[in-house]
Amino acid sequence: MEKELQQIFTKNDLKIVGKAVRRIDAIHKVTGTARYTADYYVPGMLYAKVFRSDRIHAIIKKIDTSGALRLPGVVAVVTGRDLPNKAPFGYIYPDEWILPIEKVRYYGEGIAAVAATSKEAAERALDFIKVEYEDLPAVFDPEEAMKEGAPQVGAKKRNLMNELHTKKGDVEKGFDESDAVVEHEFRTQRIEHSYLEPEAAVAIPEGDTLTIITNSQYPFFARYALAHSLNIPLNKLRLITPPLGGSFGGKDSSAIWCTGKAALLALKTGKPVKLVYTREESMIESNKRHPFIMRYKVGATNDGKLLALKALNIADGGAYPSSSAVVLFRAHVHSTGPYEFPNVQVDSYVVYTNNVLAGAMRGFGTPQVNFAIDSILEILATKLDMDPVDLKMKNLVKNRSTLLTGQILDGHVVSSRQLLKRAIELSEYKKKRELYKQDKGRYRRGIGIANSIRGVSFGGEGFDYANGIITVHEDGSVAIATGIIDGGQGAKTVLSQIVAEVFGIPYDYVYYLDSDTGVVPNPLTTSASRGTVMGGHALSRAAIKIKSRMTKVAAEVLKTKEENIVFEDGVVFDRTDKSKRISFKDLALLCHQRAEVMTESGWYSAPPLTWNPETGTGSVYFTFSYTTNVAEVEVDTETGNVKVLRIYALHDSGRIVNPKTARSQVYGGLSWAIGFALFEDFKLKNGIPQQINFDKYKILRAIDAPDISIEFIENPDPNCPFGAKSLAEPALEIGGPAIIDAIYNAIGKRVDSLPATPEKILRLLKE
């Protein structure tokens, strides 16, 4: 099977893969007929609302729900005491609760939930729940939280959720041998996911089973967490995921809290329960991008050869662990970016605080460290009196380069230099960099450049596999069943293209089933930009098993050898005599009539790695994607306003399965990058959110989007299905540092804490 798959994956005359076919879900979404979780209604269902704490850190001494229960229409009120299993669950380690039992850890934490016959009755009941608290000291700064004697927020000592340490070479010797050494501190902010669809769930008890319609990005982990908390066997708990209205990592784990509350109420009442968060509730409870404090020191020779890097990364994980431990891992191992240093020391920490929790968000820790590494190299270039692009080009990784963990880059094309050269040419970078320095008026332009390397799939974060089931029906139509979730990124489309290519059938023969944990297998979470790579591998293996049986039947019918059988454009024929042919549809029917097995599962496990978290060394990913972004800006020196004029985005994500959806990924990613660089900032004041709706929290508007030029440089990867690698997260991780570099080129001032607001720009100009 592996040999046959490799032959298919390395073909050049592809019919479906590489083509801009229409998205599978396009019609439903543009016509408004797509049915999201909040659209579901079950006769007799109750409506739920959540009671939220107004304390930041406090022991829950008593919750009095009697007043709420006396109200007309109120059927039930639940608290953490109603959980059948009074033990925490966890994405990485157990320290999270559907409803807390002993204490609240952050402002707005849900500590009770109401079910009533109407939304209005449920809402009114919240006013009649009374709580007696004992306030505890709180901590909001991650560095303070790490100190001995700091308020203890979570289950880990010194509030350390996780820490990682890596050494390579002799960093102090590297600095001693350097002609130029610079060091600087960089900070990034907390960011809201801003998905249009808030968290929602409809929990339906059916005998001794519980079915939940939920917009969880990872329904299988949600099922695991709920089964644990509710003491329900996995085979009695079914989660169905309709189309998602965005997630970007946000509904990976935090959606469990919404789903869990609805489930607990459904079990308590024996009736269906619907819970839909308001925008305010979503922004209060959902996890955010981790704010980072990063202290970097780098050294180089006079001609720009990098010799040493020392980095300290401190991330604020907030009140609960969520996926912070693995976010830290990815940030840690990408701390040097796509640049090679012979001597490295990186120390990274993620810490509990009484802030709203942080967790998975598109980029998963790399936008923060990419900002630091590209910015410190810009500072170094200034000290060396070098053009930053020359310094970066000189030190970009190449084939056989060694990463900070000791991993050697091989087995694929390391294209960082290829991308940077093309980006310089496409954007006329050097010409514009000199030209824009001549701007002396109110409006000053600048151009900046940034590069990245990104590990594909989970890597050393943990075990990594995927699976799927394929059925070829009697009429030749093909059904895909896998838990790879389409949160808007186009997973249904590209995986259907891969399956169609393997079978040699038209794309519209394939149908992608929505995720249902009672039917489809668990391919692990749709995150880490792994859907195409891991899902494509698994589904291809399922398809090739069925195809081999169909090949045997076709050879018998066409009276030829199996090696002569070709599947192409929905027809199966003899390559030596093309007049011998049968349609794929007729062959499928014949296979069913002969009782051939036409349903198969496919499993794929990522290649083994040697990452050792104790030493911070080893191979961390089985392959990598590469990106270069160039940004041009215009700065108004009177108002401090920054306008992004254009961005050039160059990507090597292997073979592009669908150019149209790939471009959409990059457009969307860059809108995040612009917000990250210039204005997005989920502000807290002593732990209390200051913006809980879009009237105050600013995201990029379509009218403000710049011109964007996208170019894919395709180096198909032999480790991946049809050579396709990750794209979703590379699309956003370096637009920010490119914009910040462009601002420096425009005004000669370095922004070292994000976002680069007009106030910060004006303050820098005055300094």
**Strand duo 515-516 + 237-241: pairing:** antiparallel
For 587, the token pair is 């062959």
Beta sheet of 577-583, edge-to-edge order: 565-568, 571-574, 577-583
pLDDT at site 463: 86
Beta bridge partners of 635: 444, 642
Q: Are 171 and 310 in contact (CB under 8 A)?
A: yes
Q: Could you give the CA distance from residue 203 to residue 45 in angstroms, rounded to a whole number?
A: 9
Q: Is residue 167 part of a domain?
A: no
The amino acid occupying position 722 is F
Tell the burial category of 296 from Cβ atoms under 10 Å away from its Cβ (0-12, 13-18, 19+). buried
Within 294-334, residue ranges assigned H as helices are 324-333
CA dihedral sign of residues 390, 626, 431, 372: negative
Which amino acid, residue 529?
S
Give the pLDDT of residue 253.
Answer: 79
For the full predicted model, state whether its pTM sits above 0.85: yes
What local confidence, expressed as pLDDT, does residue 2 receive?
Answer: 80
pLDDT of residue 767: 86
CB 345 within 8 A of CB 328: no
Q: Single out the residue of 289, 291, 357 nearest to residue 100, CA to CA.
A: 357
The reply to whether 618 falls in a domain is no
Please list the ranges in the chain whose pLDDT falls under 50.
none
Structural domain range at position 577? 2-34+465-605
In a domain, 128, yes or no: no
- What confidence score (pLDDT) does residue 205 get? 97
Residue 116 forms part of a structural domain:
no
For residue 616, tell me if it sits in a domain: no
Q: Which residue shows structure tokens 């929602």?
A: 200
Helix (H) / strand (E) element for 226: namely helix 219-230
Q: Which of 319, 328, 326, 250 is nearest to 293 (CA)?
A: 328
Cα angle 327-328-332, degrees, rounded to a multiple of 5: 125
Question: Crossing angle, helix 416-427 and helix 388-395, to 10 degrees?
Answer: 160
CATH number, residue 501: 3.30.365.10
Determine, yes or no, domain membership for 306.
Answer: no
Q: How many domains does the chain have?
A: 1
**Beta bridge partner(s), residue 63:** 131
Q: Is 570 inside any structural domain?
A: yes
- Bridge partner residues of 516 (DSSP): 240
Gap between the Cα atoms of 98 and 9, Å rounded: 44
Please indicate, yes or no, if residue 10 is contained in any of the structural domains.
Answer: yes
